[in-house]
Structure 1
Amino acid sequence: MNLNRIIVLGNSGSGKSWIAKNLASAMSSEWIDLDTIHWEPGGYGVARDRLVSLQMAKQHAENNKWVIEGIYGWIIEEIQIHATYLVWLKINELECIENIKSRGIRGNGTEESFSALLNWAGSYRTRTGSSSFDGHQAIFNKFSGNKITLTSRTSIDEFLSSIGSKI
């Protein structure tokens, strides 16, 4: 199993950053949070131009070893060809909301943007587009390499333990 280039996909608050940091550390590889590519520096207030975001993501994806994580299906669709492994965190929305509440406001966010993020996470299975549950399902189904769906903290921990010896 080739774990050199891993994409971690999932809802806001599902634990993408946490698992990606752990994988990148174990692999001694680069960790790329797609939030830093999608948003202009300084927070989550202003999105970059889509073409600029795609160009930045593709540059990272051409490297030999990385873990890229994010919710942005429209970016992942463009870079998944470079991935050797796909992890989909399919965590219950209520748990995602609780995780977001636990970590609090980030990146110069406001109460208003925090409330919007909670609503966004709660609508994962009902919203449409590439960053929705259905969008992620389509990406997962299309991916032809090694892949796994993780649905709980226990399955995430078991996955990390199982691949530790394979890195």
Structure 2
Amino acid sequence: MDLTRTLIIGNSGSGKSWLAQRLAEHLHAPWTDLDRIHWLCDEHSIPRPRAEALGMARIAADEPCWVIEGVYGWIVSEVIHRATALIWLCVEDEVCVDNIRQRETKDDERLIALLEWAGSYRTRDGSSGFAAHRRIYEGFGDSKILLKDRVEMNALIRQL
């Protein structure tokens, strides 16, 4: 499997960043978190203008080697033609919600919204939901892997 340019998609809290960091270290490649492209600020309240976000994603995907991860199917669709591999973290919604609770330190409105967002993955419409990610995965013609839990993610890392 050619992991030279790997896209990782999945729900919030599924482990995308965890896996991307380890894969990027193994490949000695840059890692791009699409949250940093989509949002203008750390508070995740102001989205970047769409054209600017897509331009940033194209620049990241033009590199010869990379790991890009995120939930935003509309950005993924812009760069997927450059990917050599696609990994879909198809983790149960409840697990994603629990992972978010464990990693977040503040209990505020933003956390409540994120928990609701993660909990609605399988029913959520739009490019960041389960159905959209399934279409991306099924339509990808190169190497692809579907991982359902942290055990499978760890096994992939061990195989490298």
After superposition, the CA RMSD in angstroms is 1.1
Deviations 1:115-147 (A, max 9, x none): 000000000001111100000000001111100
Name the count of aligned residue pairs.
160
Amino acid of the residue matched to residue 69 of structure 2? E
1:45 deviates by: 1.4
Structure 2 Cα separation of the partners of residues 133 and 72 of structure 1: 11
Structure 2 Cα separation of the partners of residues 156 and 12 of structure 1: 16
Structure 2: tracts of 5 or more residues without a match: none
Structure 2 Cα separation of the partners of residues 86 and 45 of structure 1: 28
Are the aligned partners of 1:105 and 1:114 in contact in 2 as well (CA < 8 Å)? no
Judging changes above 3 Å, is the alpha-carbon distance between structure 1 residues 76 and 105 closer, same or farther for their aligned structure 2 residues? farther
Matches within 5 A, 1:8-47: 8-47=8-47
Structure 1: tracts of 5 or more residues without a match: none
1:66 equivalenced with 2:66 (yes/no): yes
Q: Which residue of 2 aligns with 1:95?
A: 95
Q: Tell me the SS of whatever aligns to 2:42.
A: coil
State TM-score, norm by structure 2. 0.97
The percent identity for this pair of structures is 44
1:32 deviates by: 0.3
1:47 deviates by: 0.3
1:146 equivalenced with 2:143 (yes/no): yes
